[in-house]
Structure 1
């Protein structure tokens, strides 16, 4: 079995597994309890928060633990918008965001009367100038992803952050596909709110965090004083500790991992050179994600044929599984009727993939598509 859908989720690292099991076995107290068991749990929670803050070069009180990237996005967008609507009701974002951003923004539009501008890429790219031209005096929030989950495209985050220094709008970045793959220091980049998810960098599913430099967030969950009253619910202690250890481990070797994954990507494209193909949004990319189209080949059929051979890839975001609608990311790039929307597949790598696996994939693709 060959797994090449790491943009959907990554396998747990041995370090994360060890931390997850150790904390689960030895520390079961509630971090909010005052007795010894609770204090022991609270210490582990503090250590995890400090570890993640150190990775981001920020303060521990700027980290809010969540159930994952989706909740972090929702808390950032809905939480900030509802708490600050007296400043304005205009939000600026891109048309290629994950649905964990797009759907909360639709909620703000439909239920609370916010106005959202969705910027489309120009020749496959975004520039800070596009954001500058779309900013308004009543814009209170700008949201742009760090790296696209379907193509790996890197948005100009630093330039947008610099642009917003003299504007009231805060800057939210969905960094789910980038955290753990390269160092990200939000304060240096002008980021005010940043979402991350543990299972994208070899940590557990169901746990993530939101970096925030503002406490003006309307809570989405009510019932307790956890996370400085910003996110009620008993913390998922073992998973939080495992996520922190996975992030620390990933960043310790990020350059080696990046080089390895780039070699895998290059090897695959080189092996597939006899085939006619299109690489989607093939500029300014993280090498971890490769989105390619094979003309005349329906992606659903190709995915099933590869799956029967024990090879797992995808056609886009796992969060839209079962959805027959074409990729909104590719639609923003090419238009609604372009054939590439039904011919594109996503191959996403991790540090655990091997050149032998890439050789097997390319061999099978050459057989299937050469028929």
Structure 2
């Protein structure tokens, strides 16, 4: 098991037993790019996870070891800052958040690694941030709430990775529940769990195998475009704080005042929030075909209005649509590559993955990786593995 290997690597490297923590990646069934617009999302934690072995070393040095990259990075706890080692920035960003709260972080050692595919849109970065935040909270006995840890992990991404992400990914990693999806109100942070019946339907991810370089810069551009729309609407509706507050009728009434691109961005977000609400009602009623139709509509909006899809993702959705047992499919994550999420009837999963691999490679020349996922609980400690 990977957790045992990471524990063993820690003890080989640092010669004392660590605290073991697992932090899951996430899927988001529907509600994409709504989180930073204070809207609604429907994520779940999944069994693609990052494992951490962490311990206080009694000194002042922070020693970070990436198990996947087989790289060691060292810095003084008092000298934590961004630099060119990108993977270490996510972890140092978390340390900086503890320090900003006036919490002294002494020297510690950390070995981490996992099976969350990088660049697949499963939030490996949030899992890294949340896992270390949880581990340090345990080791330093700071007794912070999970919501505080989620906010700290989000800030780490803003300040040390330079991505102005919403809170969904960190929230899902920390608040996941076994066999349940969670609807999160990204303004109030109120949340509600909905059971997901894995006896009827599995979540299958299809990795496009591409990650276009547009992703990070365009993500921040979309935020700015949404803010421009809000600024315009506030002139007519002073109560509007974010696109979350805007109705479709209000938006359409002022279409002539908008830049055409900004209007489409705003229309997507307003409609996507409505889709999340509708999808939750369908899930509660057990109506998976209707839930799937909301997913297809979400993808169309992401492709046409929000313009964050790409030809490979569009191909995956269109290939999945006619296959037996498929309820719905859409791109997932920031966009410009990564995965599609597919809801597939249990009896058809094997045939679905076989056909998708075949068809996608024929269409694009790219081999297709697929992942069947299980919905799991959020970040937790693991039983220690003692290496004799």
Q: Per the shorter chain, which TM-score range?
A: under 0.3
Using the size of structure 1 for normalisation, the TM-score is 0.25
Structure with more strand by fraction: 2
